[in-house]
Structures are given as C-alpha cells and as structure tokens.
C-alpha cells in the first residue's frame, strides 16, 4: 500500500478471509456461519466486509438495526440478514428490504404480525430470541406456549430460528453459568421444536462461544469480533489477523520552547525544548479525550510518539522530540491487535470500543 496522505482506515480483506476460515475450521460440517457486521463492520465498513464474505459463501449476516440492513441491501447484498434489535417504527422499511427481524417480546411479535397481516404476507421469516441469563433482550422460557399459540393461528409468519446469547463465554471462571445457559436453551429449544411443527435453526454461540464451547454449536454460530481479528483471548488472537489499520499524516511540526504550552487548557507545559507533530485526527474521529496527556500514543518511523496535552475534536499533538520525521510523513495509530489491546487497556476499555468508535468521516480503503 502507498503511504497515507490523509487519515484513512485500511481494510485487509486477506486478513478477513483468514479469520473467517479460522472460525469455519472450528465448526462441524453442517454448522452454518452467521457473520455479524453491525456497527459498520466493527468500525471497518459493513458493505465492503459483507460483499467479500458473501463471495466466501457465508450463510447469514446480522446487524443491530434496520438502517444497517438497508445499507447492505442497497450495496447489493442478497444473503439473508437478521436484524437483532428492530424497532417497531422501522417494520415497514424492514419488510420492504427483505430483512428478517428478531422478535424478542410479545409487543414486537404482535405488532409485526399485525403489519404482515395488513400486507397479506405469507411465511415472512422471523427469528425468536430467548433470554437465558444475559437479561438484555428475549422472551422468557415460560412464554413458549404463548408464542406457539400466536403463531399457530396465522400463516403470515414463519420462524427461521430461535436463539439466545451468552453472557460470559470468554470468561472460563464463569463456565458453570455459561453451561447453565446452554442447558436452559436446550430445554427451551426442545419444547419449541416439538410444538412448532416444522424445522427451525438453533443458535447461541458468539465468537468466544465458538472457541470455548464447541459442543453447543447447534445449527448455526454467530461470529462478530473474531472476524476482525480478536479472539477475546491472547492465544486465540495470535492466530487471527488484524483487519483494520488506522493511519494518518503529520500536518505540521512545532518547536516548543521551555515553559510554553500545547493545546487547549494549556494541558501540556514544556519543561525543556520539545518538538511536536500535529495530526489530523481527534475525538470526533474516535480518538477519545482519555488518550490525552501521554495516555495514548502513535507510531512514527517505527517509534512511539505519546499524545501531548488534550485531544482536540479534529487533531492530536504528539511528542516527536527524538524522532527524525518530516511534515507529510505517515503516522500509524494502530496496525495490529496488540496495539489496539494496549490502547484499550490504557483507558480501561475493550477493543470493541476502540474499533467501533471510529468515525464515518474517516476514509475507508481496501488493502
């Protein structure tokens, strides 16, 4: 790749394919693969990622909201798309774009059924979520009879899958809790399948679940953060490849005299002669203010350059006193999983947040 001349996110499709194949290798032959591409493909670019994965014959996509699914349809994606958190106000648009809703309580089930009846739709695909311990979204196990009763009286809807979500699949100290979730889901699934009268898919595993609980693959798994290079475990992450690289350039270099300050609120005051570089990326782009005052850093000419003073909305300043560089030189904010993890740890967060915070105004390019 040519060196960056502006702030860009490079998307490495070869790395994406490597990660996809890594997780596919963990699955039984008949287990389907659902790729989670919500939040702009975890900060990359959902349509780019989805188009490539579609070529690799992924079985399903999942997004959080209807709007994200529409973006994929408008990009030409034909693969089924599960909308994990649909809002009733978007049901019409969801149907218009052939998206498949997760119906997780009676309110949504009744409202979606009413719309499909009005439109005289038949066997519209839906997914039913059950709460097995995450306590976020989902029907309770004692609502199976209610769901079956509602569905038995209509031909407007057809269940494609029932599913649940693990709360702590990455934490082996919580394995007893996770195993109870899996057993609870098995019980729900057995009851549901006996009553529904036709074949449905079951799925519960996320990225960490695929790695830690292979016995619970059921009919399909859902892989999100793993596709982008993070296994929620150091050993697994080492076997994956980084998909997104964040780069920028040096806009200007300043020579700061002793006792001069840099940036808003004069947060940095020099005790000695210092050189700083200004870089066109800031908290509006996802570089948190928490990275200011030396907490965060970038790489220039292969050397660490810590952030000086406060992070601005559109810029950061970094210390380059001991780095031989020029205006226009390339700056690496991160280009590997290790750096993302370190940056996340520095501000007490997780790689998910670092990646998904990246602004849409940053140019995306395919590597």
Indicate which residues carry an active-site annotation: 38, 264
Residue 207, CB-side half-sphere exposure with 13 Å CA sphere: 22
What values do phi and psi take at 9, rounded to 5?
-110, 120
Task: Say which residues have a Cβ less than 8 Å from residue 185's Cβ, sequence separation at least 6.
Answer: 130, 132, 164, 202, 204
Rounded-to-integer distance, Cα 343 and Cα 58, Å? 31
Q: Are 81 and 59 in contact (CB under 8 A)?
A: no
- Token pair in block for residue 30: 């008949």
Give the DSSP per-residue string, 182-196: HHHHHHHHHHHHHHH
Sign, Cα dihedral of 174, 177, 183, 188: negative
Residue-wise burial string across 128-144, b where 16 or more C-beta atoms lie within 10 A, e elsewhere: bbbbbbeeebbbebebb
Q: Are 365 and 8 in contact (CB under 8 A)?
A: yes
């Amino acid at each position: 790749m040519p060196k960056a001349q502006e702030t860009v996110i490079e998307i490495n499709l070869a790395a994406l394919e490597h990660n996809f194949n890594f997780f596919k290798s963990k699955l039984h032959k008949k287990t389907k693969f659902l790729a989670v591409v919500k939040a702009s493909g975890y900060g990359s670019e959902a349509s780019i990622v989805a188009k490539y994965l579609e070529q690799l014959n992924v079985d399903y996509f999942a997004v959080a909201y209807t709007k994200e699914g529409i973006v994929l349809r408008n990009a030409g994606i034909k693969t089924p798309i599960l909308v994990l958190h649909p809002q009733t106000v978007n049901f019409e648009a969801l149907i218009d774009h052939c998206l498949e809703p997760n119906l997780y309580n009676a309110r949504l089930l009744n409202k979606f059924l009413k719309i499909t009846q009005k439109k005289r739709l038949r066997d519209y695909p839906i997914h039913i979520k059950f709460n097995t311990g995450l306590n976020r979204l989902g029907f309770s196990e004692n609502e199976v009879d209610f769901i079956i009763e509602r569905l038995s009286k209509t031909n407007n809807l057809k269940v494609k899958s029932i599913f649940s979500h693990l709360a702590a699949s990455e934490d082996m100290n919580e394995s007893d809790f996770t195993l109870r979730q899996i057993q609870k889901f098995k019980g729900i699934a057995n009851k549901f399948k006996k009553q529904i009268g036709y074949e449905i898919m079951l799925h519960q595993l996320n990225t960490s679940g695929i790695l830690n609980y292979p016995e619970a693959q059921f009919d399909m798994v859902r892989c999100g953060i793993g596709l982008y290079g993070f296994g929620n475990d150091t050993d697994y992450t080492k076997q994956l490849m980084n998909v997104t690289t964040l780069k920028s350039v040096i806009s200007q270099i300043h020579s700061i005299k002793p006792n001069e300050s840099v940036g808003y609120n004069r947060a940095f005051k020099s005790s000695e002669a210092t050189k700083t570089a200004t870089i066109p990326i800031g908290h509006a782009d996802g570089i948190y203010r928490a990275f200011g005052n030396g907490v965060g850093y970038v790489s220039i000419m292969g050397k660490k350059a810590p952030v000086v003073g406060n992070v601005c909305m559109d810029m950061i300043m970094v210390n380059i006193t001991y780095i031989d560089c020029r205006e226009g030189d390339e700056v690496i904010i991160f280009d590997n999983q290790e750096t993302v993890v370190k940056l996340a740890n520095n501000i007490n967060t997780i790689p998910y947040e670092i990646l998904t915070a990246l602004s849409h105004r940053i140019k995306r390019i395919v590597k």
